[in-house]
Structure 1
Amino acid sequence: MKIKMESLEKEPVDIAEGVYWVGYSDENRGLHCNPYLIIEGDEAALIDGGNRDDFSTVMLKILRTGIEPSQITRLIYQHYDPDLCGSLPQLEAIINNDALRIISHSENNVFIHYYSAKTEKLDFRELGNHYEFSTGRRLEFYATPYCHHPGSFVTYDTQTKTLFSSDLFGSFDTQWTLMLELDEACRECLNLKKCSSNSTECSVNGIVKFHKSIMTSNRALSNTLNTIEKLDVDRIAPQHGRVISTKEDVKTIIRHLRSIENVGIDCLLSGEVI
């Protein structure tokens, strides 16, 4: 799916049924943030809502989906970094709904409380690891400990088979596009250091480098990939980088992530330069 960069600046992007990318891009950062809005009937949930400085961009895109802010009844924060949670006070103020709740993990809620103490914070495990809209549409939550925080988790929309993966499957991108597009050569690649297509920009390599730097260890990453591979995933929507939009590409990226020799502390102790 080709999307013009100029349209991404102001418009939400429909990536699945009722699922919208409402993020922001900056070509100078090399790190792009991807909040997602799920609209179901007259309710909505916002996943990893974004930082303080980009709140106006995110909210403009939310409004352009056609909903009112007060229809957002759940804020889902998959860990507690400021690029996810920094805009919480602004969101609370404009949503202005007593029914609003935050869903995260108790390990995260300790820190999310420092962004704002106003909204009640729930632990997804105490909700039976899921949340259902009034229509019955179901979001399931799966713990991904130490990828990259103790309380990190992912959210799976059973209706569209979309996995919202937070920092997992994220990437550093100097030539960012919203959708990841791998060709056959990329899918069959066995050596990321030598591109058979002679491309100057390897999207997969950006994902691998991100995980080597951000995730804590090979053991933590392997445990999380085991969890994800049990799910029937059509697309992965990470909080950074690009949306992985096909089953085949999801399998390709998982294969490359499993092949990383040194992740996090293992990379540091090996002396490897990322």
Structure 2
Amino acid sequence: MLPFHGSNEPADCSDAPIELAPDVWWVGRRLPDDRFQCHAYYLRNGNNGVLIDPGSPLTIETTLAKVARIDDLSAIRYLVCHHCDPDIAAALPMLSERLSRPDIQVVTEWRAMALLRHYGHRFDYYLVEEQNWRLPLEGDRALEFQLTPYLHFPGAMVSYDTASRILFSSDLFGGFVPDAANLICRDLDVLIASAKPFHQHYMPSTELLSAGLTRVQQRWPQIAMIAPQHGHVVPGPLVEEAFSRLKALECGIFALADADIDLKRLLRIAEARSRLFQVLLSQAAPTQMLVTLKLVLQRIRGVRDCVLSIDLPDQGWTSWSGTPPEPRLEGPPPNWEQVELSTQPPTKLSLLIDDQIPVDEDVLRMLKDITPSLQSWIDGVVEEHQDHLRMLELKQQATTDPLTGLTNRRALEDDQPSGAYALLSFDIDFFNRSTTASAMRPVIRC
């Protein structure tokens, strides 16, 4: 019986297959002097075995030899290709010759299929989007799929074995490994350190990476192990924290821009513009708008703080500042850089610029460029303010006596005091006296 590595003992990449869970094996090959190790996995499934990310001509013979120690090669029915790169799929022509079974299918997504066919293999396709993102296996078991677009291929996907609860994450959680002999790594810092350069170069942005990882967790909240195509296998106790750490990793074009400060600055400004437009589309209140402005401007060098000021009808200048922003009846702060956002009504964004860093003209230009789009948002703020004033006026009319200015019975009913209290009633204008002669006598009320 092959070793089951559910314990705390490390699993070494030897010549033998390594059992990660019942009926789930690592069947990859360790290439000497290669930090870019590629992993293949095999799911034993009766006469319909599943080979996940089979590999390239450099690794396929070893992979097939390991599968043969688990199952007869004629049991291989499905070849899962999470994307179409050669390290995953270049062995397909060789498998066309080695595997004689006529009903073998390549399990993939349609965009990957468009490129996989150019390897010149003979296999048919099992397109996951046409099969409800699911490949039924024996019994209640299934291999489920989740699209992870642009991580790092438009049609990239990951898969999840419902029996073992192992996530086959393809390039996600992959890394360059100095210690390729150690398959399962239980040091989170080592895992993230190996994943960092891989993701920085292959994943397009932190936002896409974080969103993709979140969707995976939402789809499968109980992941017992992560088996990537590169790097180290992530054991169960590290799974949740590994997701959190990877979501926060700065990667893609922002990471590559570190060598070009000007490029990175322009990318940050473009990101700020995009986020501001998202807030405008939601018709956010001034408080929400200022919070967003602070967040996006803090990521751009040189802007230390900002204040949003609007000259509201019937109220005058009102400014939002602080954390959290609170409205104050005052105008824009003097001596700050002023960006005029509107003239009807006057609206200004005041920027506190760092004394040690020159004013970023591109930031000011970006803010001025979006001012035409701000007008509808400002109109909405003014309309909401006027509605608020009208509601206050109606409430005043409904709860106040117009002659004396005192609160009326309606106000008293709405604002009854708690606990014991006394009520004194005075008939100051003799309203209750009758106009008939018989009722002209004084009336004493208790």
TM bucket normalised to smaller: 0.7 to 0.9
Given the alignment of the two structures, is residue 99 of structure 1 paired with residue 103 of structure 2, yes or no? Answer: yes
Distance of 2:23 and 2:133 partners within structure 1 = 21
1:12-65 Cα shifts (integer Å, max 9, x gaps): 000011100000113411111110000022320000001112211111101111
Aligned to 1:167, which of 152, 166, 171?
171
Aligned to 2:9, which of 2, 10, 25?
2
Q: How far off its partner does 1:270 sit?
A: 3.8
1:237/1:244 contact within 8 Å kept: yes
More helix by proportion, 1 or 2?
A: 2
Distance of 2:191 and 2:11 partners within structure 1 = 18
Distance of 2:121 and 2:87 partners within structure 1 = 18
Q: How far off its partner does 1:98 sit?
A: 1.3
Q: In the alignment, what sits opposite 2:17?
A: 12
* Shift in alpha-carbon separation, 1:249–1:57, aligned structure 2, 3 A: same
* Shift in alpha-carbon separation, 1:216–1:96, aligned structure 2, 3 A: same
Q: In the alignment, what sits opposite 2:366?
A: none
Task: Give the partner amino acid of 1:145.
Answer: P
Q: In the alignment, what sits opposite 2:424?
A: none
Q: How far off its partner does 1:212 sit?
A: 1.1
Q: How far off its partner does 1:128 sit?
A: 0.9
Q: How far off its partner does 1:4 sit?
A: 6.5
* Shift in alpha-carbon separation, 1:12–1:57, aligned structure 2, 3 A: same
1:137-156 Cα shifts (integer Å, max 9, x gaps): 21100000000000000000
Given the alignment of the two structures, is residue 179 of structure 1 paired with residue 184 of structure 2, yes or no? Answer: yes
Q: Which structure has the bigger radius of gyration?
A: 2
2:93/2:120 contact within 8 Å kept: yes
Residues 121-160 of structure 1 mapped to structure 2, 5 A cutoff: 121-160=125-164
Q: How far off its partner does 1:133 sit?
A: 1.8
The percent identity for this pair of structures is 29
1:97-125 Cα shifts (integer Å, max 9, x gaps): 11111110111011110112411123201
Q: How far off its partner does 1:268 sit?
A: 2.1
Q: Which runs of 5+ in 2 are unaligned?
A: 1-7, 262-446
Secondary structure in structure 1 of the residue aligned to 2:118: coil
Q: How far off its partner does 1:218 sit?
A: 1.5
Given the alignment of the two structures, is residue 245 of structure 1 paired with residue 250 of structure 2, yes or no? Answer: no
Secondary structure in structure 2 of the residue aligned to 1:40: coil
2:107/2:126 contact within 8 Å kept: yes
Q: In the alignment, what sits opposite 1:227?
A: 215
Task: Give the partner amino acid of 2:54.
Answer: G
TM-score (norm 1): 0.86
CA-based RMSD:
1.8
Distance of 1:68 and 1:42 partners within structure 2 = 9
Distance of 1:136 and 1:110 partners within structure 2 = 31
Q: How many residues align?
A: 251
Q: In the alignment, what sits opposite 2:387?
A: none
Residues 112-127 of structure 1 mapped to structure 2, 5 A cutoff: 112-127=116-131
Given the alignment of the two structures, is residue 213 of structure 1 paired with residue 201 of structure 2, yes or no? Answer: yes
Q: How far off its partner does 1:257 sit?
A: 1.1
Q: Which runs of 5+ in 1 are unaligned?
A: 187-191, 193-201
1:71/1:95 contact within 8 Å kept: no
Given the alignment of the two structures, is residue 52 of structure 1 paired with residue 41 of structure 2, yes or no? Answer: no
Distance of 2:48 and 2:193 partners within structure 1 = 38
Given the alignment of the two structures, is residue 110 of structure 1 paired with residue 81 of structure 2, yes or no? Answer: no
Distance of 2:10 and 2:32 partners within structure 1 = 15
Q: Which has the higher contact order (CA 8 A, sep 6+)?
A: 1
